[in-house]
Structure 1
């Protein structure tokens, strides 16, 4: 009988151990299904870091791309300006070749070059400014001399040494002028 009781006790212990193991496995499965708050936050942080890294990479690529575009625009603008100057260089070369043989033709060639220059500036939307009689404006004129004169009004331009040039409101070169009757 003692043996039978031992067998019953042993079976009871085995059943208890099995039940405990089953409960433990069930708890582990439950724990695996529901991550802790810390694990949730860690996972969320990881996702946000990945998003941030992608955004930083996209911004860096955007910055590099726009820098390349700016360089391309500058090169295109320079090429456009040089393209407008080339016919004048050709005309100057021809005028210089003919200068000794035909002085009158040389002068006509210079006039042609000046007209080509004006046409090129118009195509580039470059405007010349600074005329005798204009009122002196220190924002667009450089006064390099002044005179007293009864023939010209006060603070007016009496002589142009170099014309000024602008594109829209942007001054490319200030006009070099002589100003009359200024204080």
Structure 2
């Protein structure tokens, strides 16, 4: 081959190689663009899934908080119902306890088996009420409080301040801090 032909051939090869390189760059650029679009699509899908996850997590947290509030409310309601039931039962039993106290007072200190049996029943019943949170109170000497006491009489008493309870006709009873039955009292005038 002649040197001109070789030069022409070399130029043709160079042009072909340049065209091949240009075609490869175009293909590579197209592939990069497709890969970038695929990544953007995957990123959008991931963001969508993350938003769904956050939504479900928030729903689960709200549901858990609602359940915890429900559990607390039910615990409180059960305690209130239990207290109300104990109070209702105690109100029914208190007249019998009053009668036992009268029987013990009438028997005095005679030491008979019957009187001792009545005292035993009275103490057992009082202890059972105490275990349920129900306690009696005898306000003699205290200042009259209309929320806890029921005045059945008022009388002048020497040495007692006005408004002081001087005599208790019937003991009062409380369930924790709630008055089940006010004490019936005589108040100094």
* Pair 1:162–1:38, CA change in 2 (3 A): farther
Contact 1:127/1:166 (CA < 8 Å) preserved in 2? yes
1:146 corresponds to 2:171: no
Equivalence for 1:128: 136
Written as runs of structure 1 = structure 2, the 5 A alignment for 1:17-96 is 20=26, 22-34=28-40, 42-67=48-73, 69-70=75-76
Count of aligned positions? 149
Contact 1:133/1:152 (CA < 8 Å) preserved in 2? no
Unpaired stretches in structure 1, ≥5 consecutive residues:
1-11, 93-103
- CA positional deviation for 1:162: 3.1
Provide the secondary structure at the position in 2 that maps to 1:121.
helix
Q: 2-side partners of 1:152 and 1:124: how far apart? A: 39
Moved more, 31-40 or 122-131: 31-40
Per-residue displacement from partner, 1:1-55 (whole Å, max 9, x unpaired)?
xxxxxxxxxxx7xx85x86555333212113224699767645432321210111
- Calculate the aligned-residue CA RMSD, in Å: 4.5
- CA positional deviation for 1:160: 2.8
- CA positional deviation for 1:179: 2.0
* Pair 1:40–1:126, CA change in 2 (3 A): same
Q: Compare CA radii of gyration and give the structure with the larger one.
A: 2
Unpaired stretches in structure 2, ≥5 consecutive residues:
1-18, 101-111
